[in-house]
């Protein structure tokens, strides 16, 4: 949805045209003092300097790719397509949004003030395929330093678990 290209489907193109957009589209949260990572996005190899979460035992590179963000990271939006209607409670509890806010805090030492989940509703066609309905639901949400601290703890636990699993698998 975020690459800005016409699909040829009038309804899909209409929905895409209604999505709010900032300067940065589908790009990683960058931190010039972070660590360089290489990843593949849309069959293209991309290099970026990303924020690092430091722990006593290791440093964790944080690759966060919000769908759209302001150049200064004071705002970002995440797009979803769904047959199920999102609720404000679901958005407020979204770990993905907390992850992105934490990445911004690690890079810029500020929690974004303007955060929003934008859901483009979809429905099943008689043949079982999905199509947009044309309805877009916007849910503003907030994250606080408490949310960032909770997410950094979650990231450290996850990284430790991944490392432990990798050590068991490799040795």
What are the tens digits of pLDDT across the range 63-102?
999 999 999 999 999 999 999 989 999 999 999 999 999 9
Residue found under tokens 């890079």:
107
Dihedral angle sign, alpha carbons of residues 32, 151, 110, 45 = positive
pTM as predicted: 0.89
Contact status, residue 97 vs residue 143, Cβ threshold 8 Å: yes
**In terms of DSSP bridges, do strands 59-61 and 68-69 run parallel, antiparallel, or are they unpaired?**
unpaired
Dump pLDDT digits (tens) for 53-65.
998 888 999 999 9
- Look at residue 7 in the predicted model and tell me its pLDDT: 80
- Look at residue 6 in the predicted model and tell me its pLDDT: 76
For residues 142 and 102, what is the distance between their CA atoms, to the nearest angstrom? 12
- Look at residue 162 in the predicted model and tell me its pLDDT: 87
**In terms of DSSP bridges, do strands 59-61 and 52-54 run parallel, antiparallel, or are they unpaired?**
antiparallel
Contact status, residue 19 vs residue 116, Cβ threshold 8 Å: no
For residues 60 and 63, what is the distance between their CA atoms, to the nearest angstrom? 10
DSSP secondary structure string for all residues of 88-135? HHHHHT-HHHHHHHHHHHHHHS---SEEEEEEEEEEE-TTS-EEEEEE
- Where residue 170 falls among pLDDT bands split at 50, 70, 90? low
Rg (CA), the chain: 18
Dump pLDDT digits (tens) for 91-143.
999 999 999 999 999 999 999 999 999 999 999 999 999 999 999 999 999 99
Residue 83 per-residue DSSP state: S
Structure token digits, residue 85 = 């209607």
């Amino acid at each position: 949805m975020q690459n800005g290209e016409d699909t040829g489907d009038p309804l899909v193109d209409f929905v895409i045209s209604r999505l709010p957009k900032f300067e940065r589209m589908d790009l990683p949260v960058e931190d010039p003092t972070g660590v360089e990572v290489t990843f593949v996005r849309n069959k293209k190899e991309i290099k970026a300097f990303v924020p690092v979460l430091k722990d006593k035992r290791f440093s964790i590179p944080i690759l966060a790719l919000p769908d759209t963000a302001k150049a200064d990271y004071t705002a970002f939006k995440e797009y979803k397509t769904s047959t199920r209607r999102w609720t404000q409670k679901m958005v407020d509890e979204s770990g993905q949004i907390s992850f992105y806010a934490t990445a911004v805090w690690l890079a810029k030492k500020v929690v974004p003030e303007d955060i929003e989940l934008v859901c483009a509703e979809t429905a099943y066609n008689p043949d079982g395929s999905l199509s947009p309905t044309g309805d877009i639901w916007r849910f503003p949400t907030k994250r606080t330093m408490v949310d960032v601290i909770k997410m950094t703890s979650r990231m450290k636990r996850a990284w430790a678990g991944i490392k432990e699993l990798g050590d068991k698998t490799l040795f």
